[in-house]
Structure 1
Amino acid sequence: MISTPSTMSEARRLDLISAAIIVLAAFAIRACLFGDPLIHVDENFYLLVGDRMLHGGALPYVDIWDRKPVGLFLLYAAIRLLGGDGIVQYQVVATLFAAGTGLIIARIAAPMAGRGPATVAAILYLLLLGLVGGAGGQAPAFYNLFVAGAAWAVASALTGEPASPELIRRRGALAMGLIGLGMQIKYTVVFEGVFFGLALMWASWRVSRAYARLAIDVTLWVVLALAPTALALAWYLVLGHEEAFVYANFLSIGARSTADGWELLHRLGKTWKVLQLPLLAVLLAAALAPWRRFPRGEATFRFALAWLGAAVTGYLIFGTYFDHYALPLFVPLAAATAPLFAYRRRHLGLIAAGVMLMAGASAYGVVVRKMKLKRGGQAEMTAMVEAIRPRLSNCLYVWNGDPMLYHLTGSCLPTRYPFAGHLNLLRENGAIGVDQATEVRRILAAKPNVIVDRQPTARDFNFAVVAIVEAELRRNYRPVAVIPLRRTKTIVYERRPGH
């Protein structure tokens, strides 16, 4: 069929409508949490680091320790240029990233399902994000955009019209460049990057049958994928802190202990509850095969399944199975559900779309409510800040609590480990470059005026260090504010006069 200007104009109009629906859905779904400073402890730590980089010249791994790539902190530092306290700002930027990812999911899914079902798949992705900690600014909320873009580049090279060697090289360069950027948000992107690289190698060989061209392509793609990380390492090398960079980024994760088997099974079970319905949709799409109606349907669906398999493999290999580690799975998973929504017989596709969206929206509402009860929100954070600020004369110490308190009180940092878990979780003992007990004793010796604790103590804490802190609190501190939550309470302690 030859496209005429009128049909092309109509297609563009429908594309714009689809895009507008996805962007509006992203803001409608996520806006209820805008301004909430307690969505997740990880992202309020990223905001703290970004703020101290921009306004205090802090250097990740040296002045503030973590094992995330520096690109994530640079992103949050850039967000701080938007003004305010950065909370609404990072959440709006994360929503734009999520919407952009949804747009690419729809672009990937359309050749195997059509525009409408692809739009439904994109909205499903936006709902799924919020079910496992992705409603705010977790790292995958950002890097999923780069991975989705890379997937689109690879899929268009593999499933479209017969591609030339030059087109495959260009699409491969785009894909691997995006993977490289994604790796500087979180290194787990590498698993999907390897899959895309292998697919591109096969495509290059298929069209050229030339070893020399394949070697050039592979070299180009590998260089582009590694370039952002190499640049980051070079920066630290120039600054003379390459050892700190290498340990934090590549070595420390191997020194961290893992949870016991029952705990890992529990985490997998929680993730399975979220995955089972969309996975059922994928299985039905495979069995009913509505993608056969589309010229590129079979090839695109096969690609989506292979991509999903690569993402699941990466999730399983990494092995810790925290709920938010499943966030990367939702991009290929959502794309692979789209053909089911295109199934016409007995309106099954329309019914499936309605069921999936209603189930996703209901689950999202339940999760947000539970999160508010468990972690609190703006009111609880305001109460903590108001209790802390008048009592600060030296650095606050958040022994067990949210790093956001350092940010919103303007406190100096008593340690280069302001993410509380690095000093109180047993799995981090011996994996952060210092002894936990030694560092905690050093902090307490400086006599911080205010210490923040959360009770009851979690079972995965290092209780030898817990004993040190609790003894100090009994001797020299008194509680001045208690902020109750559903199952925990945050306690603000003030140092007793004369102690």
Structure 2
Amino acid sequence: MTTRTMLQRPAFHWLAAAWPYALIGLVTLLVRSPTFGNPILDFDEQLYLLVGDRMLHGHLPYVDLWDRKPVGLFALYAAIRLLGGSGIIQYQLIATACVVIAAWFVRAIVRRHMGEIPAIVAAVAYVLMLNVLHGLGGQTAIFYNALTAFAAWCACKANDANTPGRIAALALAAMLALGLAIQIKYTVIPEGIFFGCWFVWRLFAAGERLRRLLGIAIAMVLVALAPTGLALGAYALAGHLDAFLFANFTSIFLRQPFPTQVRNDQISQVVACCMALLTTAGVGLFQLRTHAHGRVYADFPLLAGWWVSAFAGFGMLGDFYDFYFLPVVLPSVILGAFALRGERRGFTFGCLLLLWPCIFIPANYFSRHQGILQTSRMVSAISPYVSGHCLYIYDGPTILYYLTNACIPTRFAFPDHLTNPIETRALGVDPVEEERRVLASQPGAIVTASRSVVPRVAPATQALVREALVRDYVLIARTPTIDRTYYIWARRDLHPGPAPLVDPRAANPQ
């Protein structure tokens, strides 16, 4: 068999088409595998898994367990729990699959104008950048970025379409994806608005009649809002519409802003982590504009507008946690790929995209075994005291509620809600009164930490906890982790004999 005959075989063509997808998938798996199984990988997804699990036992978000994330996020984690196992590695694997899908779409969009190598570099850069922005596990953007990337791909395909029918089909598919993304986090709304406007413009440019264009636009809006509308309707039928509306739409506007210095520090951290990405994206945007002809002419305003709308989502909440920047990474790596033109310059910018994230890899990336061991020790210390009694995590990993299967003495299971002063007016209850009620229920065990994660701690609730610990609890375990130490307190009347540990600092929880 000649080489030419072999190259003409369908199997070889399939292999030639599949290898970039396989390579991106393998790289993603290798990059994220060191974190698999770590129960305390990050803070937020611990709550998402807890609420998802409790939903399967009849608990209702916003009513029994409070947060302001869309119910679709918790439904996603509930579905992941149905896969069996611990739920921890399962959500991390599903998150990895979403990263792979998003990276595939990054490659597909870049391939419209660039070669295979720049496309793969952009896809891998996306995977690497997630690690430095608290995207190691199951943050919201890890899931919905895959949906947003699909919508962007649909918009690019709409630029190639000449018939209104084809554009309308792509628009409705994109709006459905973005509607699902909105039910994972509302900050995707600016991107959804931009893509919606883009499809309307494409329909107009393709010669769609005004009356039909208006009908399609209304259908796009309805499709995008359908998932949220279904959630709202379900809560209305259950008699909990007020709870749904307050948590989802009202409470965010009642939060007090962080001090200016805190927000400046947050922005500085994001800029430091993403400096190479933003620089490369800026150069790529300029290069794209310089070569804006033919199909590129249509893609330039699309990609530039998407980038701007992603920044709008980043700034939507008024504070600037680094993981809020995860959606901006998606269009940034695509734009950055256009900076890879030219051998020497392209090589330099390619190295920036791929090597810069390695400088900022967080310490917990390498702490899977320690995380498993530390969590196991805390669960072992807590378990004897929460049989028939509740666990209260004043400050600590909410995964402990999940792993001990303990009852929770408050709707506000996420410690940040009662400890962070910016939340004082945004909970629908007085945090001090809620803290008093929780402590009056006499939890069997309380978890505190050596230092707070949030920049400021509410002094009134902190004082109540300190007083209760001194009066009614004994320190039974101390678990150091990478960034802080967790203290386990048992109720004094449940613990026989003297306190096994004495640590004056622990009596002053942060």
For normalisation by structure 2, the TM-score amounts to 0.91
Aligned to 1:236: 235
Amino acid at match of 1:378: I
SS at match of 1:483: strand
Give the distance between the partners of 2:178 and 2:277, measured in 1 at CA.
Answer: 25
Question: 1:20-55, CA deviations, whole angstroms, 9 ceiling, x for partnerless residues?
Answer: 01111111110000011111110010000111111x
How far residue 347 of structure 1 moved from its aligned partner, in angstroms, is: 3.9
Long gaps (5+) in structure 1: none
| 8 Å Cα contact 2:61-2:71 kept in structure 1 | yes
Amino acid at match of 2:116: R
Alignment counterpart, residue 460 of structure 1, candidates 438, 452, 456: 456
Aligned to 1:432: 427
How far residue 12 of structure 1 moved from its aligned partner, in angstroms, is: 5.0
Alignment counterpart, residue 354 of structure 1, candidates 347, 351, 354: 351
Question: 1:80-125, CA deviations, whole angstroms, 9 ceiling, x for partnerless residues?
Answer: 1111111101000000011111011111111121222111101100
Amino acid at match of 1:446: S
Give the distance between the partners of 1:354 and 1:382, measured in 2 at CA.
Answer: 40
How far residue 414 of structure 1 moved from its aligned partner, in angstroms, is: 1.1
Give the distance between the partners of 1:486 and 1:27, measured in 2 at CA.
Answer: 24
Long gaps (5+) in structure 2: 1-6, 496-510
Q: 1:294 to 1:98 in 2, by over 3 A?
A: farther
| 8 Å Cα contact 1:111-1:294 kept in structure 2 | no
How far residue 369 of structure 1 moved from its aligned partner, in angstroms, is: 4.6
Question: 1:317-351, CA deviations, whole angstroms, 9 ceiling, x for partnerless residues?
Answer: 3321111100100111111111223x23x443234
Amino acid at match of 2:17: D
Aligned to 1:88: 89
| 8 Å Cα contact 2:176-2:224 kept in structure 1 | yes
Give the distance between the partners of 1:441 and 1:45, measured in 2 at CA.
Answer: 23
Aligned to 1:495: 491
SS at match of 2:190: helix
Aligned to 2:505: none
Amino acid at match of 2:417: H
2:207 paired with 1:213: no
Give the distance between the partners of 2:297 and 2:280, measured in 1 at CA.
Answer: 16
Give the distance between the partners of 2:293 and 2:208, measured in 1 at CA.
Answer: 29
Alignment counterpart, residue 379 of structure 2, candidates 385, 388, 396: 385
Q: What is the aligned length? A: 487
Give the distance between the partners of 1:288 and 1:174, measured in 2 at CA.
Answer: 30
Give the distance between the partners of 1:267 and 1:386, measured in 2 at CA.
Answer: 36
Aligned to 1:329: 328
2:245 paired with 1:246: yes
Amino acid at match of 2:241: E
Amino acid at match of 1:491: Y
Aligned to 2:158: 157
Aligned to 1:72: 73
2:473 paired with 1:477: yes
Aligned to 2:416: 421
Aligned to 2:261: 262
2:152 paired with 1:143: no
SS at match of 1:480: strand
| 8 Å Cα contact 1:456-1:488 kept in structure 2 | yes
Aligned to 1:18: 20
Q: 1:260 to 1:482 in 2, by over 3 A?
A: same
Q: 1:112 to 1:127 in 2, by over 3 A?
A: same
Amino acid at match of 1:307: W
How far residue 290 of structure 1 moved from its aligned partner, in angstroms, is: 10
Give the distance between the partners of 1:206 and 1:296, measured in 2 at CA.
Answer: 14
1:6-405 matches, within 5 Å, as: 12-54=14-56, 56-158=57-159, 160=160, 162-208=161-207, 210-288=209-287, 292=291, 296-341=295-340, 343-344=341-342, 346-364=343-361, 367-369=362-364, 372=367, 377-393=371-387, 394-405=389-400
Q: 1:82 to 1:154 in 2, by over 3 A?
A: same
SS at match of 1:82: coil
Question: 1:349-374, CA deviations, whole angstroms, 9 ceiling, x for partnerless residues?
Answer: 2343234212223433xx2457859x
Give the distance between the partners of 1:244 and 1:279, measured in 2 at CA.
Answer: 40
Give the distance between the partners of 1:123 and 1:86, measured in 2 at CA.
Answer: 27
Give the distance between the partners of 1:302 and 1:389, measured in 2 at CA.
Answer: 57
Q: 1:114 to 1:102 in 2, by over 3 A?
A: same
Q: 1:11 to 1:308 in 2, by over 3 A?
A: farther
| 8 Å Cα contact 1:113-1:290 kept in structure 2 | no
Give the distance between the partners of 1:91 and 1:129, measured in 2 at CA.
Answer: 13
Amino acid at match of 1:402: P
Question: 1:166-200, CA deviations, whole angstroms, 9 ceiling, x for partnerless residues?
Answer: 11111110111111000000011111001001111
Q: 1:148 to 1:459 in 2, by over 3 A?
A: closer
How far residue 217 of structure 1 moved from its aligned partner, in angstroms, is: 1.2
| 8 Å Cα contact 1:112-1:298 kept in structure 2 | no
Give the distance between the partners of 1:218 and 1:296, measured in 2 at CA.
Answer: 24
Question: 1:196-247, CA deviations, whole angstroms, 9 ceiling, x for partnerless residues?
Answer: 0111111111112522022111101000000000000111111111111111
| 8 Å Cα contact 2:288-2:300 kept in structure 1 | no
| 8 Å Cα contact 1:380-1:483 kept in structure 2 | yes
For normalisation by structure 1, the TM-score amounts to 0.93
SS at match of 2:106: helix
Greater alpha carbon shift after TM alignment, 283-292 vs 228-237: 283-292
How far residue 280 of structure 1 moved from its aligned partner, in angstroms, is: 1.5
Give the distance between the partners of 1:445 and 1:15, measured in 2 at CA.
Answer: 64
Amino acid at match of 2:78: A
Greater alpha carbon shift after TM alignment, 111-120 vs 470-479: 111-120
Give the distance between the partners of 2:38 and 2:365, measured in 1 at CA.
Answer: 14
Give the distance between the partners of 1:87 and 1:280, measured in 2 at CA.
Answer: 36
Give the distance between the partners of 2:370 and 2:255, measured in 1 at CA.
Answer: 29
Give the distance between the partners of 1:194 and 1:289, measured in 2 at CA.
Answer: 23
Give the distance between the partners of 2:271 and 2:359, measured in 1 at CA.
Answer: 17
Give the distance between the partners of 1:243 and 1:255, measured in 2 at CA.
Answer: 16
Give the distance between the partners of 1:315 and 1:10, measured in 2 at CA.
Answer: 44
Give the distance between the partners of 2:478 and 2:374, measured in 1 at CA.
Answer: 10
| 8 Å Cα contact 1:478-1:493 kept in structure 2 | yes
Q: 1:402 to 1:302 in 2, by over 3 A?
A: same
**Percent of aligned pairs sharing the same letter:** 36
| 8 Å Cα contact 2:35-2:365 kept in structure 1 | no
Q: 1:12 to 1:199 in 2, by over 3 A?
A: farther
| 8 Å Cα contact 1:111-1:295 kept in structure 2 | no
| 8 Å Cα contact 1:112-1:301 kept in structure 2 | no
SS at match of 1:497: helix
How far residue 485 of structure 1 moved from its aligned partner, in angstroms, is: 3.2
Q: 1:20 to 1:295 in 2, by over 3 A?
A: farther
Question: 1:357-398, CA deviations, whole angstroms, 9 ceiling, x for partnerless residues?
Answer: 12223433xx2457859x961121111111101222301111
Q: 1:487 to 1:279 in 2, by over 3 A?
A: closer
